[in-house]
Structure 1
Amino acid sequence: MIVRRDGEPDGDGGAVDSALDELYVTPPPAFVSRRESLATEAKGAGRVADARRIRAARRPSLAAWAANLLLRSRPEESRAFLDLGQALRDAYRSLDADGVKELSEQRRSVVAALSRQAAELAAEAGHRLSDPVLREVEATLRAVLADEDAAGRWATGRLESALTPPSDFPGTTAVRTDRPRSPAAPPRTSTQDEVAERRRQRQERLAQEKQEKLARQKQEKLARQEQEKLAQRQREKLAQEKRERLGRAREAARAADQRLRQARDDLRRAERQQRAAEKQREEAADAVSRAEREAREAASEVKRLSGRGT
């Protein structure tokens, strides 16, 4: 063990780095308890400086934790992503228009793919990323591509909060919410950590409640829209049925009117035929009367003439 001049043993760089690497992929709710456990182990092993470094570690935001988890869990993809960022920055500096266009298209697809992977890893670890947190992860990845300093910070796997990409990529430094602390900053106390953790938990809970409220409002809006569509379809169906019934009624009325006209024509024809038959009957009766009269007259004449002859 190396001993400093003041008699305090130096830390084991490899051990503390391993501890910090583990700590920054620990889910945020368990961060404080795990940090205390690792610091206690280091102090118990005589590594006082390591214990101090571990206790000085700040709990990462949910987005920063997801970005750290992505780097540790997908090392090959992360290395390729860092290489893409370097190539993209070089292309901008060299004003290679074709290279910039090709790499920019690749950038969008890779950022989207890695963001999905980060969300899947977080979900597997028991923490579903809300839409705002996922956007912070995407912003962090865009910052890594745009800015060399941001890329170096992500490559450590120890982000404490999300990164923001520069507005004029790539000529400026990324604006970061996780500003580096002074090396001389004193370690945070457990009380401060607990207060900070409660504050973060409350903020996350409020954000989650807001997301759930927005989701409910969206579902209610969709339900109202679906009900309105259903009511509109019902109204259209009733209107169509009414039009069909009206069409059938009009067709029936036209058919009835046609039958009425036909019946009237038949009646008039029958009346004409009846009048003609009555006329024929009268004419026949008149003929019978004339014939009878003529027969009587003839019989009388015969009788009269017969009487003369005797």
Structure 2
Amino acid sequence: MAGKRVGPVEEDGVEHVLDALYATPPSDFVSRREQEAFAARSDGRAADARRIRAARRPTPAAWAANLLLRAQPQECRRFLELGRALREAYRTLDADGVKELSEQRRGIVSALSRQAAELAHEAGHRLSDAARQDVDATLRAVLADQDAADRWAAGRLESALTPPTDFPARSADTAAGGRTERARVEAPRPSSHARKKDELAERRRRRQEQLDAARRAAEEAGRLLHDLSAARADAAPALQQARDRHDQAARRRATAEEELRRADEELARADRERQEAEEALRAAGDAVKRAERTARDAEKEAARLAGPNS
């Protein structure tokens, strides 16, 4: 199902183009969309061109969320699985369990949000504080709401997602169903002591199930948070090295541009000197020719004056 896809897809024509388009920085989105639509039309794929042309530029936060999905597919897949586990756990947890999972949830959202911001920065676009808050909101929505999770998993968000006020609580229907089930179990109407004993055992069983579900969700949340923290720690030196290389390259470029400017000036000066030398050489040549003509004329005049009797 397309809504369940996480991370890069196979190159399958227009689907691949759209996936790549929504991972394109917003500032470059429109120009790339038009290029891809033109290419599709030129290839005779009018329907594909219309689909590409209908794509809408994502907000910076939505783009960062799409970028995160493509750059960290494994972590994002675990994040989606964690969301399913958390939603199930929240439907049956008590206040203490909800508090524990809420703390884990905040840590994981914060870690993934930082990764999204760093990916955006590496792509040359620093997220504003407002955009980072929208990324946080989108990730919280993904954890709390299945529809939001499906939209993000498609990798083509156009705008940030809004989380619900809280995780879904245990529904009245579920509670009523439990009471109905207990009513069916109690239909034979055993003694009061037996009923209390059965109810106590049932409550303990349900309580144990809730605790087991909460513990599994908390453990998975802890593992994911640990992995994200480790990945961030591993990525930090590489990011710093990349920034250092960028700064060094920028300095080398500035130095090269300065050297090029000086070389251009020297070339222009040399060109002027060459032109002046060529002009001087032509003038000297002309002077030599005039002197030669003058010398020849003087010799002829001297010969004439000397005459045949000399």
TM-score when scaled to structure 2? 0.49
Query: Of the two, which has the highest radius of gyration?
Result: 1
- Which of the pair has the greater relative contact order for Cα pairs under 8 Å at 6+ separation? 2
TM-score when scaled to structure 1? 0.49
